[in-house]
A and B are shown apart, each in its own frame.
Chain A
Amino acid sequence: MLRVGIIGCGKIADGHVEQIRAIGRGEVVAVCDREPLMAEQLAVRLKIPGRYDDAAEMFAKERLDVVHIATPPDSHLFLAKMAFAAGCHVFMEKPFALTAAQTREILALAEQAGRKAGVNYLYNYETPGLELEELVKKGTLGEIVHLDTSYGYNLAGDYGLAVMTDPGHWVHRLPGKLFHNVLDHVLAKVIPFLGDEIDTRVLAFRRRGPTGSAIVDAMPDELRFILRSGGVTVSGNVSAHGRPVPHTLKVVGTNDSVELDYTARTLIQASRWSAPSALGRQFMAWTQAKQLAANGRRNITRFRKYEFHYFQCMRVLLDRFYDAVEGQGPDPIPPEQILRVCRVIDQIVEGVDACMAQQNGNGTAKEVAA
């Protein structure tokens, strides 16, 4: 069993510990948080023997094989350096780093140390994401032409309220503020279809009214972007106001197109008008309904097999990451993809900054050359 440590004992740490235990590849032997009370609560609630408020001490005493870093991203480079120096593999919570430059540095350190650097781009491993992977591998969709990625968040939810009511929240320190913390989810799914040269156009604005806090009000809440890499384009929507909160991806290929709903865990092929005349159009809705029913049946089967956990996707990703750590498989998220995601985040953040600087409540488009 691999000896695993967790740094950062906020709410996502629960998910890491539970999924490490679920795959049975490692034992969480210690947790660490700069705030001793947070380390205490995670250790007590999840019955973990070691607890630290100093990462260096944890590395020195626990002989860890793998460390999961679940702290805010401004600490990732510092902690990764320490982890690689201690001979650990690193599984990083997103955002991987504050900037692409920091990402390059972390990935280079991993390579020098001969250790793995993974990242929690979990939604690539949701069941519709895995089905998409298979369809692409088989060539069912043909060449990819366009992807439309949509992600939402609720500013009235627990996390949203924490961000909205606390100007000191770490999200406000991120270069791209709230978007910076969710763009990985939006981009990680589409980046595998893009090359290294990516053109970006960005529109960002604040739709909600002012709160009176300059820091909170500086945070935009609606983002649209377009990416182009060669013959492939991506349109992106990150929204705080759209309901129901979206988490979808549409993939348009030269042979076929599919729509993925990550919340419902469904993948539906686009309807095709194959029978002639008005009568032929009658069949399309029923064909779609049949596909949805098949998705529902598959979800029930997964539930019965205990494969329908909220973090099932993280479980699959971690299993593959631990395969890579033990030399039994490739990196589930290759380093070049991590870097590409971070580069596009930098570009979008630059566009968001330009938009917010230019506007007083109205959106402005900004083109950022790759």
Chain B
Amino acid sequence: MKILVTGAGGFLGKQIARSLLMQGQNDLRLHFRNKAPAGFIESLLKEFPQAQIETAAANLLARGSFDAMLQGVDCVIHAAAGMKGAAADMFANTVMGSRNVFEACGKTGIQRITLISSFAVYKTDGMKPGDTLGEDTPIEPVGVDKGPYGYAKTRQEHMFMEFAAQYGFETVILRPGVIYGPGGGALSPRVGLKAMGLFASLGNGALLPLTYVENCADAVARAAVHAPSGSAFAVTDDNIPTCRQYLDGYLKNVQKMRVVTLPFGLFLWVSKKLVAYNKASKGQMPAVFTPYVVKSMYTPIRYSNDGLKKIGWTQRVPTAEGLSRTYAWLKAQPPR
């Protein structure tokens, strides 16, 4: 089976390719926007000499320009997405690019597509402390209240299902929590924010839905091949720390910072004031944290990865080891 991975040069995409090869999928086509990261293909071939790896460069925003990339492909893992930039840019890079991919897949007759979505699509504002988020948790109807990234990813998922209905391809969706590891980011907004020489601790005692990049990639590779069509998975590791525990580890192992703790109740109150100020000042300060966002992201809930375990996924890198590797890598980076 030939599998195409879009966004294979990304933080997760690179590991997906490796996980597929580790799980015995030897016929890969890897998509990059321009070209593969230096030495990447060579390192894969050295590790997996039996692999057949093709590369394809394409701008996914150029609709109709990459049909050739899909020729001969049985299964697509769509990992390319816009992770940053202005709201319009994020939407274009995530939704327009995905529309072009799904449309081309439909027309080419691709049988099965796995979409890498995000925790950001889950509708969690109504969840109470202690509730469990899992694959049965509903997703946002529109997502615009979750901010630009949540909106783009929600629209992407709804569109995915529209194209699946139109073209009849099989669908699998993975919604990772916070993907971490060497090469990734340091402190998720769920943990807190750096501002004016201080670090505002926001998540505190809430569990941080971490998934180590290799574990997440294993889940993608497993689900892409083995999950029933129509399934969707929340992707988190076992034994995940609280936001505060992650922050304490960061402070101890990576960098000292002056930390100000904002308890949930106070944070919620501040978010209401921010919205009121944003309105009164006609947008002088953006209302990044609305009460909806605070309730959705910072309520201390639990996370289930039972769905993944049912299809045979196991956590390859224990959380303690993942954290240790990540802190060590972050420590070795030049200060920004």
> What distance in Å separates the Cβ of B206 from its nearest Cβ neighbour in chain A?
27
- A168 near B62 with CB under 8 A, answer yes
| Contact A309 B283, CB 8 Å, known A45-B87, A45-B151 | yes
Which chain B positions have C-beta within 8 A of A57?
none
Which residues between 88 and 124 of chain B lie within 8 Å of chain A, taking CB atoms? 88-89, 91-92, 95-96, 99
Interface residues on A, range: 20 to 34
- A44 near B282 with CB under 8 A, answer no
Q: How many residues of B contact A (CB 8 A)?
A: 28
- Is A165 on the interface with B (CB-CB < 8 A)? yes
- A11 near B89 with CB under 8 A, answer yes
- Is B155 on the interface with A (CB-CB < 8 A)? yes
- B84 near A158 with CB under 8 A, answer yes
Which chain A positions have C-beta within 8 A of B59?
166, 168
Instruction: Tell me which of B34, B87, B99 contacts A37 (CB under 8 A).
Output: B99
- B88 near A42 with CB under 8 A, answer yes
Complex-state Cα separation, A165 to B59, whole angstroms: 9
- Is A100 on the interface with B (CB-CB < 8 A)? no
| Contact A41 B89, CB 8 Å, known A166-B61, A213-B34 | no
Which chain A positions have C-beta within 8 A of B86?
11, 14, 158
- A22 near B282 with CB under 8 A, answer yes
Which chain A positions have C-beta within 8 A of B61?
166, 168
- In chain A, what residue has the closest Cβ to B286? A310
> What distance in Å separates the Cβ of B244 from its nearest Cβ neighbour in chain A?
31
- Is B85 on the interface with A (CB-CB < 8 A)? yes
- Is A35 on the interface with B (CB-CB < 8 A)? yes
Complex-state Cα separation, A207 to B10, whole angstroms: 27
- B87 near A14 with CB under 8 A, answer yes
- Is B276 on the interface with A (CB-CB < 8 A)? no
- Is A352 on the interface with B (CB-CB < 8 A)? no
- In chain B, what residue has the closest Cβ to A23? B282
Instruction: Tell me which of B34, B89, B152, B282 contacts A162 (CB under 8 A).
Output: B89
| Contact A13 B284, CB 8 Å, known A38-B96, A166-B59 | no
Which chain B positions have C-beta within 8 A of A18?
282-283
Which chain A positions have C-beta within 8 A of B34?
165, 213
Which chain A positions have C-beta within 8 A of B88?
9-11, 13-14, 38, 41-42
Complex-state Cα separation, A308 to B281, whole angstroms: 9
- A35 near B87 with CB under 8 A, answer no
Which chain A positions have C-beta within 8 A of B96?
35, 37-38
Which chain A positions have C-beta within 8 A of B142?
44
Interface string of A256-270 (1 = CB under 8 A from B): 000000000000000
- In chain A, what residue has the closest Cβ to B98? A37
- In chain A, what residue has the closest Cβ to B143? A44
- Is B302 on the interface with A (CB-CB < 8 A)? no
- Is A303 on the interface with B (CB-CB < 8 A)? yes
Instruction: Tell me which of A14, A21, A35, A309 contacts B284 (CB under 8 A).
Output: A309
Which chain A positions have C-beta within 8 A of B33?
165-166
| Contact A22 B91, CB 8 Å, known A14-B86, A35-B96, A165-B34 | no
Complex-state Cα separation, A188 to B328, whole angstroms: 50
- Is B332 on the interface with A (CB-CB < 8 A)? no
- A303 near B284 with CB under 8 A, answer yes
> What distance in Å separates the Cβ of B92 from its nearest Cβ neighbour in chain A?
7
> What distance in Å separates the Cβ of A158 from its nearest Cβ neighbour in chain B?
4
- Is B22 on the interface with A (CB-CB < 8 A)? no
Which chain A positions have C-beta within 8 A of B95?
37, 41
Which residues between 192 and 240 of chain B lie within 8 Å of chain A, taking CB atoms? none
> What distance in Å separates the Cβ of B68 from its nearest Cβ neighbour in chain A?
17
- In chain B, what residue has the closest Cβ to A11? B86
- Is B260 on the interface with A (CB-CB < 8 A)? no
- A41 near B91 with CB under 8 A, answer yes
| Contact A158 B281, CB 8 Å, known A35-B96, A37-B95 | no
Which residues between 176 and 214 of chain A lie within 8 Å of chain B, taking CB atoms? 212-213
> What distance in Å separates the Cβ of B88 from its nearest Cβ neighbour in chain A?
4
- In chain A, what residue has the closest Cβ to B91? A41
- B144 near A306 with CB under 8 A, answer no
> What distance in Å separates the Cβ of A91 from its nearest Cβ neighbour in chain B?
19
Complex-state Cα separation, A14 to B286, whole angstroms: 13
> What distance in Å separates the Cβ of A47 from its nearest Cβ neighbour in chain B?
9
> What distance in Å separates the Cβ of A12 from its nearest Cβ neighbour in chain B?
8
- A306 near B91 with CB under 8 A, answer no
Complex-state Cα separation, A11 to B96, whole angstroms: 14
Complex-state Cα separation, A9 to B88, whole angstroms: 8
Complex-state Cα separation, A45 to B61, whole angstroms: 21
| Contact A306 B284, CB 8 Å, known A166-B61, A168-B62 | yes
Interface string of A143-173 (1 = CB under 8 A from B): 0000000000000001000100110100000
Complex-state Cα separation, A212 to B35, whole angstroms: 10
Interface string of B26-51 (1 = CB under 8 A from A): 00000001110000000000000000
Which chain A positions have C-beta within 8 A of B91?
37-38, 41
Which chain B positions have C-beta within 8 A of A162?
85, 89
- In chain B, what residue has the closest Cβ to A213? B34
Which chain B positions have C-beta within 8 A of A41?
87-88, 91, 95, 151-152, 155
Complex-state Cα separation, A165 to B142, whole angstroms: 30
- A21 near B89 with CB under 8 A, answer no
20 A/B residue pairs, CB under 8 Å, sorted by A = A10-B92, A11-B86, A11-B89, A18-B282, A35-B96, A37-B92, A37-B96, A38-B96, A41-B87, A45-B87, A45-B151, A158-B86, A165-B33, A166-B61, A168-B59, A168-B61, A212-B35, A306-B281, A306-B284, A309-B281
B-side residues, CB < 8 A to A, are: 33-35, 59, 61-62, 84-89, 91-92, 95-96, 99, 142, 144, 148, 151-152, 155, 280-284
Nearest 4 interchain pairs by C-beta? A11-B86, A158-B85, A306-B281, A22-B282
A-side residues, CB < 8 A to B, are: 9-11, 13-14, 18, 21-22, 35, 37-38, 41-42, 44-45, 158, 162, 165-166, 168, 212-213, 303, 306, 308-309
Given contacts A10-B89, A41-B88, 16 further A-B contacts (CB under 8 A): A13-B88, A14-B86, A22-B283, A35-B96, A37-B99, A38-B96, A41-B152, A41-B155, A44-B144, A158-B84, A158-B85, A158-B86, A165-B34, A166-B33, A168-B61, A306-B282
